[in-house]
């Protein structure tokens, strides 16, 4: 199960620098001029989780396999992108394919780095991008509604449901509200997600600050934090320049560098976790002598569907899940100790997997 977060923002806000640090590569060309990213770069990153190493140490696992998230570096958007200005139209499709949007905002002052609007105002930048995505959604919805006319007149049930959702989204957009402001029931959610509306996607604001403000943020990031709070969005303060430096260091040197900068952990770890939380994801583990592995599922996932993340046959032939909580696995020294203490549970098809569960699935092959 892959989860993809698109990194968006105006040109020269530090998107590609951040992406390079995220993926620890130079795949994205970072340069001080607009539109240096012409193709969307894609990179996978491990989700940091100290629990996995602890489990592996207890079980003597030979290999550790982290769960992963995909980040997509999308070219800088500008005012008029929805009408094809800059390279906008070319990349709106790339955003549609993402599960969430990490919106990088320039929260640093630097006369040597050009801003396309000639000013530093992250809240205004956020509004510019949001407006372009809303305009693109409105255009897309109007086209889709035209294409649905014949089907709805013919009584096509799916088309009728789709039309109703599109009209609710359009009504919100016409009132200046993003599609994510529309209340959607559990029964409607699947069809809603299939619409792939740009402004329906959850947003994480990434405040790119100067190195000296990486630990505490600055006045610009404080304004973004207020905006995020009013919108129910995520917000992370990070210095892309620091993260790029850290990505080039050996593991032993990183912690020393972070301590010197007054940082408890790398900003990228917080960014990845924030993206994970934004998508309402959680982790369960499979642990054995060969490997300790983390698996990503959405919160509220039932045991058979969790098994299906490993292999479809596990879901189809699901019998039961032998379950140990992370705390019990650690407290009792592993699977055998947890069993002897009566802390291993046998869960069936209706079990909602909890974050940190250590699971062993039994299934018909």
* Secondary structure (DSSP) of 212-237: GGTTT--HHHHHHHHHHHHHT-EEEE
Q: Residue 32 has what pLDDT?
A: 40
Share of the chain above pLDDT 90, in %: 50
Q: For the full predicted model, state whether its pTM sits above 0.95.
A: no
Of the pLDDT bands very low, low, confident and very high (cuts 50, 70, 90), residue 114 is: low
Task: Supply φ then ψ for residue 77, to 5 degrees.
Answer: -95, 150
* CATH 3.40.50.300 domain extents, the chain: 4-278
Which pLDDT does position 347 carry in this prediction? Answer: 97
Residues of the chain with CATH 3.10.20.30: 300-363
Among 99-103, 252-256, 297-301, the range scoring the smallest mean pLDDT is 252-256
Segment 194-215 mean pLDDT? 92
Residue pointed to by tokens 């947003």: 203
Is 50 exceeded by the pLDDT of residue 299?
yes
What three-state secondary structure class fits 239? coil
User: According to the model, what pLDDT value does residue 124 have?
Assistant: 93
Position 327 scores a pLDDT of: 97
pLDDT > 50? residue 25: no
Superfamily of domain 300-363: Beta-grasp domain (3.10.20.30)
Q: How far apart are CA 171 and CA 203, in angstroms?
A: 21
pLDDT over 70 at 246, yes or no: yes
Distance from C-alpha of 243 to C-alpha of 226, rounded to nearest angstrom: 24
As assigned by CATH, the class of the 4-278 domain is: alpha beta
259-278 pLDDT per residue, tens? 888 888 888 888 888 888 88
Distance CA 115, CA 85 (A): 16
């Amino acid at each position: 199960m892959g989860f993809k977060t698109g990194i968006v923002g105006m040109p020269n806000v530090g998107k590609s620098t951040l992406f390079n640090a995220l993926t620890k590569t130079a795949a994205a060309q970072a340069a001080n001029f607009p539109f240096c990213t012409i193709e969307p770069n894609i990179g996978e990153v491990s989700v940091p989780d100290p629990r996995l190493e602890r489990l592996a140490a207890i079980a003597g696992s030979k290999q550790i396999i982290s769960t992963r998230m995909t980040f997509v570096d999308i070219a800088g958007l500008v005012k008029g992108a929805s009408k094809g200005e800059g390279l906008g139209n070319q990349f709106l499709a790339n955003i549609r394919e993402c599960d969430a949007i990490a919106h990088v905002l320039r929260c640093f002052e630097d006369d040597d780095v050009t801003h396309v609007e000639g000013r530093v105002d992250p809240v205004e930048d956020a509004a510019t991008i949001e407006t372009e995505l809303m305009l693109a959604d409105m255009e897309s919805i109007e086209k889709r509604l035209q294409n649905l006319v014949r089907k709805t007149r013919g009584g096509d049930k799916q088309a009728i449901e789709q039309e109703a959702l599109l009209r609710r989204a359009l009504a919100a957009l016409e009132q200046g509200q993003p599609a994510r402001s529309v209340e959607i029931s559990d029964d409607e959610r699947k069809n809603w997600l299939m619409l792939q509306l740009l402004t329906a996607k959850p947003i994480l604001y990434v405040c790119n600050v100067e190195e000296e403000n990486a630990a505490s943020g600055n006045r610009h990031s404080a304004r973004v934090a207020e905006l995020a709070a009013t919108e129910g969005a995520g917000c992370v303060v990070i210095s892309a320049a620091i993260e790029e430096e850290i990505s080039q260091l050996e593991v032993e040197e990183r912690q020393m560098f972070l301590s010197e900068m007054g940082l408890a952990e790398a900003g990228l770890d917080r960014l990845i976790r924030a993206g994970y939380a934004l998508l309402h994801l959680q982790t369960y583990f499979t642990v054995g002598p060969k490997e300790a592995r983390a698996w990503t599922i959405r919160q509220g996932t039932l045991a058979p569907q969790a098994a299906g993340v490993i292999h479809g046959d596990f879901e189809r032939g699901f019998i039961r899940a032998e379950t140990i909580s992370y705390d019990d696995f650690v407290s009792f020294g592993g699977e055998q100790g947890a069993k002897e203490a009566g802390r291993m549970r046998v869960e069936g098809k209706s079990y909602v997997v909890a974050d940190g569960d250590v699971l062993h699935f039994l299934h018909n092959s």
